[in-house]
Amino acid sequence: MRNTAKITTAVLAAGALTLGLSACGSDKDAATDTFGPLVVAASPVPHAEILTFVKDNLAEKAGLDLQVREFTDYVTPNTATEDGSVGANFFQTQPYLDDFNKKNGTHIVSVVDVHLEPLGLYSQKVKKADALKSGATIAIPNDTVNEGRALQLLAANGLITLKDGVGTSATPADITENPKKLKFKELEAAQTPRVLNDVDASVVNGNYAIEADLKPAEDALVLEEAKDNPNSNLLAVKEGQENDPRVKKLAKLLTSPEVKKFIEDTYAGSVLASF
C-alpha cells in the first residue's frame, strides 16, 4: 500500500506540476525579477486565504504587488519555487521542507514561521479514540514527515508505542506495541479526510481538515498540542532569495498584528499564529 500510494502521489503531482507550470507561463523568472510582482504558491486553506487577506488589506500600503497561486499537492509548490516559476511558497513545515530538500536535491529555505495547523484524528464511527475497536483501520498521510507526525500523535495518546528516537521519520514498521491491533491505510495527505466513510478513523492535516469542513478544535478525537510544536507552517524561498525586498515585506506582513487577528477571528483555534 505504501508503494502504491507513493506512485499515485507521484502521478498526481506530475499532473499538478504540468498544470501549474503551464499556468505560470511568463512568470518563469518570478524569483529573480525583484521589481515585478511576488508570486507565491500556496495551499488553498488556510495559506491562500491568509495571503489573500494580506493582498487585499495590507500589501498595497506596503508597496508590495502580491500574486497568489493555489496548488493542492505538497510537491509542486517546492519544485516551482526551485525552478523560479514562483518567487516563494507558503504551505509546509520545517521538518517537511528538510526532508523534501534531502530527497529531491532542492534548495528551499525558510524565511519566517507563520502559523500552526494541529494534526488531528477524526472519525465518523466513534466519539472517542479509546472507543476504536480491535483491528480498526486508520488512514494516515504517506509522506515521510506527516506520516511520522500522525504516528507520534497516536503514540502520544496511548494508542500505539513507537521505537525511541524515531521522531517524524516514524513508519508503521517502528511500532513496538499495538494493543488494539490497529491497521494503517497510507494515503496522499489530501485524501485522508475523503476516506472517513471507508475507515474507522483518519489522521488529517489541519489545512485539509478545514477544507473538508471539519473543525479541528471541536471535531478531532485527539489533536496535536501547540506548545513547543516544531511543525509551524512557514514562508519559504529558494536559497539566495531571502533578501529579496518583496519577500522581506511579505514576511513582515504575515507576522503583523493584523494577520494574527485575522487568524484568530477566522479559524477559531483551528489555526494558531506562531508569532
pLDDT digits (tens, 9 = 90+) for 139-193: 999 998 899 999 999 999 999 999 999 988 999 999 999 999 999 999 999 999 9
Q: Which of 110, 141, 151 is nearest to 233 (CA)?
A: 110
One-letter amino acid of 210? I
Least confident of 38-42, 169-173, 209-213: 209-213
Enumerate the H helices of the chain as residue ranges: 2-24, 49-54, 60-62, 76-83, 94-104, 144-156, 206-211, 216-219, 245-254, 257-267
pLDDT in tens, 45-55: 999 999 999 99
Q: Is the pLDDT assigned to residue 211 strictly greater than 50? A: yes
What cell was used for 64?
A: 508590495
**pLDDT at residue 26 in the model:** 43
Cα–Cα separations (whole angstroms), residue 141 to 15, 132, 188, 202, 226: 20, 19, 6, 9, 20
Cβ(111)–Cβ(232) under 8 Å?
Answer: no
Global confidence as pTM: 0.73
Could you tell me the domains of the chain?
Answer: 2-118+230-273 (3.40.190.10), 120-223 (3.40.190.10)
Give percent above pLDDT 70 in the chain: 88
Pairing of strands 120-122, 201-204: antiparallel
pLDDT in tens, 136-145: 999 999 998 8
